[in-house]
Amino acid sequence: MNKNTACFIFFILMASSFPSYSKDLNPSNYQQTKSKKNYSFEWNQLKNENTFQTISSFPTQDWWKQFNDPYLNEYIEKAITNNTDYLIAKTRIDQAKYKARRSLAQEFPVVEIGGDFTRQRNSENLTSFPISELQGGGPRIFAPGQTVNIYNTPLSVNYELDPFFKKRLNTKSKQSLTQSAEWQARSVFNTLIAEVASSYFNLISTEEQINHLKQITELDEDNIKLYEVLYSAGLIAQDEVNEAKKLLEQNQEQLNSLKNTKEFFYNNLAFLMGEAPAEVNEIKHLKLAELKTPEVLSTGLASELLFRRPDIVAAEYDLKSAGINVSAARRAYFPSFNLAMQAGFSSINLGNLVSPESLLVALTASTVQTIFSAGQRRADLNIAKAQKEEALHYYQKTILQSFKEVENVLASYKESLKNNEVLNKQLNLQLDNLKLFQAKYDQGLIPYQDLIMHKKKFINLQKSLNENQASLLINQISLYKALGSGQV
């Protein structure tokens, strides 16, 4: 039996002396089992076919373009270019890619080349050979008491063998984290677009509500003037005038509150676009009535749409990385193998440095097996298991949270649809009433106060309908976001 065969049998015996972990060495196995507790995740338990029906189509990734609003498209493009949260998310992708690339580089040999010069004076007691024997062509480098120059040009190659795929698993884990970072950036992108669109529609709605409330306050002022005339004529009491003034003050207070709300949405939209509010001269926009409102719920929704949500896919890659880390932690029990080769030229004379006689070559093979680490490897394995379990629970939480979001948005959307229908009917009826009361007032059959009251009712219904239409649009945006915004 030669030496190579003996070494091979020796390493096989060492590896077989450790516990078997073959059932976890497959990175695709993410089933968590601990103390006979099953942490498997059943997708079918989360799917509710009674809630989510078949869908024939769903908006594409650029869903905001369906509103046919050039101003909204412009603001979203600015946000994509300048928003700091999105820029940070994209830089994290680069970081993850470089970490994966660095891990991949560790799987290859390391080649180094150098050069050094040494000038040294040898010790008088360096050798017991007579000085006469060290003169001439003898080994002058060991000449006692002599000063010599040593020139070296070393080339070294170091390669750690990976028979148990320790480094390969580490690279796969980093690659999974890279995928996770990419999908997390998509999630930030979806949230950013939804916030820009919501702030934009809220800004439009608030401005239109301000216009409606200004019309109401103008009618209140006319009403107060009329009441003061009637009070001066002794036809009404002072408390009726005071009540009219009190109502005007309440509407003015509400008007000031709406103006503050408008400023909030204005500032929020500016910040989302990566600009200071002072740098934004004007935010142009269409009216709510000019917007095209697509009907995304007309054909129902498919539960499979949820599983293209970026946060769910990102959590899946995190879970995959955690599972690979568990396998890598188990393989830390196996020995490490290393090959090293050194070559180069070494001479005491610069003139004959590059010559066959100056060539040095050395090849080294080594192995290391840890037999005692005070529980460090066991602790690393337990940490990896706990992190995998955490990733699994987070994965489950993300999916459950997505269903919760969709259910809540669907409920709000359906409620807004019903309210929109009711408010439209009420508005049409009030418009007919207003025409009748206007005709009666023109004929002198009713006082001006009654006409003002019906005008205010009509404007208040317009205001309520405006709020509900904005709520309908924002719920629609929330639904796009909850279903992954068309991600594929």
Residue 177 lies in a domain: yes
Does 446 reside within a domain? yes
Instruction: Fill in the DSSP letter of residue 145.
Output: T
Q: Is 288 a domain residue?
A: yes
Quick check: is 359 in a domain? no
pLDDT of residue 129: 54
Total domains in the chain come to 1
Note whether residue 88 is domain-resident: yes
Q: Which amino acid is at 475?
A: N
Strands (E), 348-436: 359-368
* Residue pLDDT tens, the chain, 488 long: 444 444 433 333 333 333 333 333 333 343 333 333 333 334 344 334 333 333 334 555 688 888 889 999 999 999 999 999 999 999 999 999 999 999 999 999 999 998 888 888 888 776 555 555 555 544 555 667 788 888 888 899 999 999 999 999 999 999 999 999 999 999 999 999 999 999 999 999 999 999 999 999 999 999 899 889 888 888 888 988 899 899 999 999 999 999 999 999 999 999 999 998 888 878 889 998 888 776 655 444 556 667 778 999 999 999 999 999 999 999 999 999 999 998 888 888 888 888 888 888 889 999 999 999 899 999 999 999 999 999 999 999 999 998 899 889 888 988 998 999 999 999 999 999 999 999 998 888 888 888 999 999 999 999 999 999 999 999 989 988 888 875 54
pTM of the model: 0.78
Q: Is residue 369 part of a domain?
A: no
Whether 246 is in a domain gets the answer: yes
CATH of the domain at 256: 1.20.1600.10
Question: 6 in a domain, yes or no?
Answer: no
Q: Domain of 192? A: 18-107+164-334+376-482
